[in-house]
Amino acid sequence: MASARRIGAPDAKNRMTLVDAAEQLMIDEGYAAVTSRRVADKAGLKPQLVHYYFRTMDDLLLEVFRRYADQGMEAHRRALESPQPLWALWRFGINPAASRLTMEMAALANHRKELRAEISRYAEVFREQQREVFVTALERHGVLPDDVPPIVWSILLTGVSTVVMMGEALGVTAGHAETLEVVERYLTLMEGEPAPDESAHQWRSEQSAPLAPEFCETTTPSTASTQ
């Protein structure tokens, strides 16, 4: 019976370098650029090392998502624990650089069932965290109507930030300024004027919140295939 192929240690420096390279390629050129040869070249390593650390390219792409999603969940947790959690959540969602990797992951998920499942799993946790902070905020301030559940306000807030950031990435900005003004007026009613954003540089600027499942369904996929 043939023995299982050896896989490099999960905490090896070269493995992390390959993940970094794959992530940067996705940001710079899109997921179709993430081939074993391109990743190795970007990392300054031999191509065979890609499959020493990852059985398939799908495994590498999953690792890229899991790492940035874990970092995003931690940043999201800190935002929700801040003195102004709704302002922090809003700022978290409108990071202008975040949409690049987010959109590529969403497009790739249309073709990768395992990645789609991971995105959905993270998104459920993300949404529950948001629901909890909206419950607290609504109970504290009592500004918004009682007949609208907190989860709806959570979806509305994150939905607006997602649409705005997608539009910004595509160069479509009609109505954005007016929308931002309305959202921020309500946030000011609930939590007052926003305090200085001290957490703005605590996380890599290209990262985003974990993707919501509905975002995957509405994103236009890339036409090229991943090798």
Q: Is 92 helix (H, G, I), strand (E, B) or coil?
A: helix
Contact assessment for residue 147 and residue 130, using Cβ atoms and an 8 Å cutoff: no
| Burial class of residue 3 in the structure, from the number of CB atoms within 10 Å of its CB (0-12 exposed, 13-18 middle, 19+ buried) | exposed
The boundaries of the domain holding residue 23 are 8-55
Same domain, 49 and 67: no
Nearest-angstrom CA–CA distance, 116 and 217: 10
106 Cβ partners below 8 Å, 6+ apart? 119, 211, 215, 216, 219
Task: Write out the two tokens for 116.
Answer: 């789609």
Same domain, 73 and 109: yes
Count up the domains in the chain and report the number: 2
CA distances from 90 to 146, 158, 174, 197, 221 (A): 21, 7, 20, 11, 27
Task: Write out the two tokens for 226.
Answer: 């991943």
Positions in the chain whose pLDDT score sits under 50: 1-3, 199-227
Same domain, 124 and 97: yes
User: Following CA atoms 162, 164, 169, 174 in sequence, which dihedral angle do they give, to the nearest 10 degrees?
Assistant: 160
CA-nearest of 91, 80, 114 to 164 is 91
Q: Looking at the domain assignment, is residue 3 inside a domain?
A: no
Same domain, 69 and 42: no
Crossing angle of helices 113-141 and 150-170, in 10° steps, is 120
CATH number, domain with residue 20:
1.10.10.60
Given its phi and psi angles, is residue 207 left (phi above 0), alpha (psi -120 to 50 degrees) or beta?
A: beta
The pLDDT assigned to 79 comes to: 78
